[in-house]
Structure 1
Amino acid sequence: MTTSFPGFPKELLRFYAELIENNNRDWFTKNKQRYKEVVVYPMCDFIEAMAPRLEAIAPMYIADARPNGGSMFRIYRDVRFSRDPKPYKEHLACQFRHQAGRDAHAPGYYVHIALDGVRFGGGIYLPPAPVLRAIRQSIDENPEKWRKVKADSDFRNTFDRIRGDSLKRAPKGFSPDHPEIEDLKRKTLFITKPLSSVERITQPDFIEEVDDAFQKATPFMRFLTNAVDLPF
């Protein structure tokens, strides 16, 4: 059984357009209730609607609709080590991570909404060294399975390629001539489907597009999940 979602309100787009022009605490304080009504609550509804869909795709991954501590990322930026003093993120995002994961560095499905682009897919972001090493070893030990993931027609037509920041040189223990060296050098591995228009998020079938992309990401997500010794 799936749950419908009417699409995000157009007011969400207006909110972020104004936030970009007024990224300061005074403006946000005045608009905090508006933020809850047009951003937080609709995102919670989206996550709740995705829960049974995600259950059908990857039952070990969690869609947590709580406004705090759930799948939705906080709007507050950590500016302690940043040259950018803006206190608020100018995009909306959520991650449906594996139930064994405790933070954003665990394998997860991802949705990113910003005025300059909307994308969704999955992967793993800057995993700890032991986790990244396990993924590299799995690619090295199962090259045919890895190539099959990338060669799948649904995968190629939906996501194009695997992305993520990379090392400049081959990681320790792997030859620079390894046939999968470009993926072995990655510190992050993710795939995303971009939308041509941000207005698509306001349509009732937006959730169907996310659902479809998550389904087509399954071989990639299964490989990553099993590589880090977790059940898919």
Structure 2
Amino acid sequence: MAEFQGFPEAALDFYDDLEIDNTKAFWEANRSVYDEAVAAPMKALVAELEDEFGTAKIFRPYRDVRFAKDKTPYKTHQGAFVAKGPSTGYYVQIGAPGVRVGVGFYEASSERLAAVRSAIADEAHGADLEQVLADLTAAGWTLGGDTLKTAPRGYDVDHPRIALLRHKSMTLGKDHGFAPIIHTPELLDQVRADWREATPFVEWVLAHAKA
């Protein structure tokens, strides 16, 4: 496989146009652009990260529209995910807004979520998570994920970590947007550094999301 050389400008242009014309006709007319400017660089990127982080799943570009109100057929970004546990791991994507990296768990069974909340409520483990999140948000990461509007059952609304306890999923993301680095081989080292930086969060989840 060819070495990663960055995502070309054509990748951003492709997704800009796809957001305007999300049709089979556009896709078929521009399939070679997707293959060469999006799919091939993504495969090369995750292949070079595989030795350290593991094998990535590169998501299909097609949307599942069976139960969706939005019937547009194609995703407006290309993502890849390295699973380290159930729905837990490392993520990278390219789309019209540029490049974004992420880590965390995007969904959890009731048993795993209960285990995570128990660890958050624990004084020692909860404090560890708070420190990890403080370090990463200071380094430019943004905490996200689905949350409850109220306190989860069994927890007091006045709990000092109630904001974390409300999470049903928990992710950290960092945008590189249109930074010049995304078009260069140096993006590989940047994604590697980002994932390494956020590994303490992934490890915390893996240590405590057990049922």
> TM-score w.r.t. structure 2 length?
0.89
- Equivalent residue for 1:193? 174
SS in 1 for 2:81: strand
Superposed CA RMSD in Å reads 2.1
- Equivalent residue for 1:149? 132
Structure with greater proportional strand content: 2
- Equivalent residue for 1:73? 59
Q: Which runs of 5+ in 2 are unaligned?
A: none
Identity level (%): 32
Equivalent position amino acid for 1:148 in 2: Q
2-structure distance, mates of 1:84, 1:198? 31
- Equivalent residue for 2:44? 45
The C-alpha deviation readout for 1:31-87, integer Å capped at 9, x for no partner, is: 334322222222111110111242xxxxxxx223xxxxxx11111111122221210
Match among 49, 55, 59 for residue 63 of structure 1: 55
The C-alpha deviation readout for 1:74-122, integer Å capped at 9, x for no partner, is: 1111112222121001111111111x54xxxx11111122212432120
How big is the shift at 1:198? 5.4
- Equivalent residue for 1:57? none
Cα distance change on mapping 1:107 and 1:159 into 2, 3 Å: farther
Match among 198, 204, 209 for residue 223 of structure 1: 204
Cα distance change on mapping 1:161 and 1:41 into 2, 3 Å: closer
- Equivalent residue for 2:26? 27
Cα distance change on mapping 1:151 and 1:35 into 2, 3 Å: closer
Checking the alignment, whether the CA contact within 8 Å between 1:150 and 1:161 is kept in structure 2 is no
The number of equivalent residue pairs is 208
- Equivalent residue for 2:81? 95
Structure 1 position 158 matched with structure 2 position 129: no
SS in 1 for 2:172: strand
Cα distance change on mapping 1:130 and 1:168 into 2, 3 Å: same
Q: How does 1:61-140 map to 2 (within 5 A)?
A: 62-64=54-56, 71-98=57-84, 100-101=85-86, 106-140=87-121
2-structure distance, mates of 1:51, 1:112? 16
Structure 1 position 173 matched with structure 2 position 172: no
> TM-score w.r.t. structure 1 length?
0.81
2-structure distance, mates of 1:88, 1:198? 25
1-structure distance, mates of 2:114, 2:169? 12
Give every structure 1 segment of 4 or more consecutive aligned residues whose post-TM-superposition deviation is greater than 3 Å.
Answer: none
Cα distance change on mapping 1:52 and 1:178 into 2, 3 Å: same
How big is the shift at 1:12? 1.6
